[in-house]
A and B are shown apart, each in its own frame.
Chain A
Amino acid sequence: MRALVVDDSRSMRAILGRILRQLGAEVQEACDGRAAIDMLENSHLPDIALVDWHMPVMDGLQFVSMVRRHPEWRSMAIMMVSTESDKHHIVQALTAGANEYIMKPFTKDAVSEKLDLLGIRHNETRDISNQGDQ
């Protein structure tokens, strides 16, 4: 699994990066949406981007919209990682093209479950997500 963590907070990137590495991911980091777009243009497409909402330069919602307009990036799953918990914000993110939404604070188990829901295999993928695999 390759994951891209997009957050302006270095500490949050450290937390998410640590969890994702424990789940077996190869992790790249970007400090805002613009930097993440630059990374997508210049490196292998990750399986998933975990994206903060509030960031300077380009926020998470703008990033999601831009990624979803790019045909070659459509296969990348996007999980919003945010303190925004009201329905309006969640609907806005999903409408823009995010596949999943997780609230801060989160646990490793919560991240793992969301990856399972997205069908992204990792070190702790549960048996139920293996059903159908041959």
Chain B
Amino acid sequence: MEILIPSASTIVEITQEIWASVLEDAGELVAEPLDLKHPDDAVLAFIEITGHWQGSVRISSSLRIARHIAAGMFGKSESDVQDDELSDAVGEFTNIVGGNIKALFPAPCNLSLPGVAGIGTFGDELPPGFEIYQSERLVGEAHLSWQSEHLVVSLWEAANRPE
């Protein structure tokens, strides 16, 4: 069975819809060219898809965007967001984006619980605890921004992940 990988524009549309739906006072999340620099102070979140298609959805955002997501979901100001709330909100945002991307693959596919890595500059390296994703290859990516802050949603296909 040929499996179509969602295009960058589809990933953008999904992310924008979720952004507008779940955040209070969301503001506009705009699509950006794919050469956008990854955020330096990134918050990195993962969710795994298994089944007919296997891989992961990763969201890398600047700390400011992560705070904005948490503030919008918890209904409070960015300055009042606690670290555990930031992690929870980014994880749930990733869960919803991942679930909506998963829906584009042929069923059955399953979704894992989301994982959120600590704040850091990850570049091409994966943070400790996420090495299982090392063998995946990038197959789709969307770059977006809100108030000049960056958010990257990427889709990674597993090679032969051990069960």
Interface positions of A (Cβ within 8 A of B): 8-12, 14-15, 18, 54, 56, 82-88, 104-107
Stretch at the interface among B36-44, B83-91, B152-160: B83-91
Give complex CA distance A87, B88 in Å: 28
**Residue on B nearest A86 in the bound complex, by CB:** B107
- Chain B neighbourhood of A12, CB < 8 A: 73, 92
| Nearest residue, chain A, Cβ from B105 | A86
B58 in the interface (beta carbon within 8 A): no
Is B122 interfacial (CB-CB < 8 Å)? Answer: no
29 pairs, A vs B, C-beta closer than 8 Å: A9-B88, A10-B74, A10-B84, A10-B85, A11-B74, A11-B89, A11-B93, A12-B73, A14-B73, A14-B74, A14-B75, A54-B112, A56-B113, A83-B96, A83-B99, A85-B99, A86-B108, A86-B109, A87-B107, A88-B107, A88-B108, A104-B22, A104-B99, A105-B17, A105-B18, A105-B21, A105-B22, A105-B100, A106-B21
B contact residues around A85 at 8 Å (CB)? 99-100, 103
Distance of A56 Cα from B115 Cα, bound (Å):
13
- Does B99 lie within 8 Å of A11, measured CB to CB? no
Contact B111 A84 (CB under 8 A): yes
Interface size grouping (class) on chain B: 20 to 34
Q: Give the complex CA separation of A11 and B71 in angstroms.
A: 9
Query: A104 near B96 (CB under 8 angstroms)?
Result: yes
A15-B22, A88-B107 are known contacts. Are A83 and B100 too (CB-CB below 8 A)? yes
B68 interface residue (CB < 8 Å to A)? no
State the CA gap A106–B112 with chains docked (Å): 20
* Contact A105 B96, beta carbon cutoff 8 Å: yes
Per-residue CB contact flags for chain B residues 92-122 toward chain A (1 = under 8 Å, else 0) read 1101101110110001110111000000000
The answer to whether the Cβ of B142 comes within 8 Å of any Cβ in the partner chain is no
Q: Are B111 and A11 in contact (CB under 8 A)?
A: no
Any A CB within 8 A of the CB of B11 = no
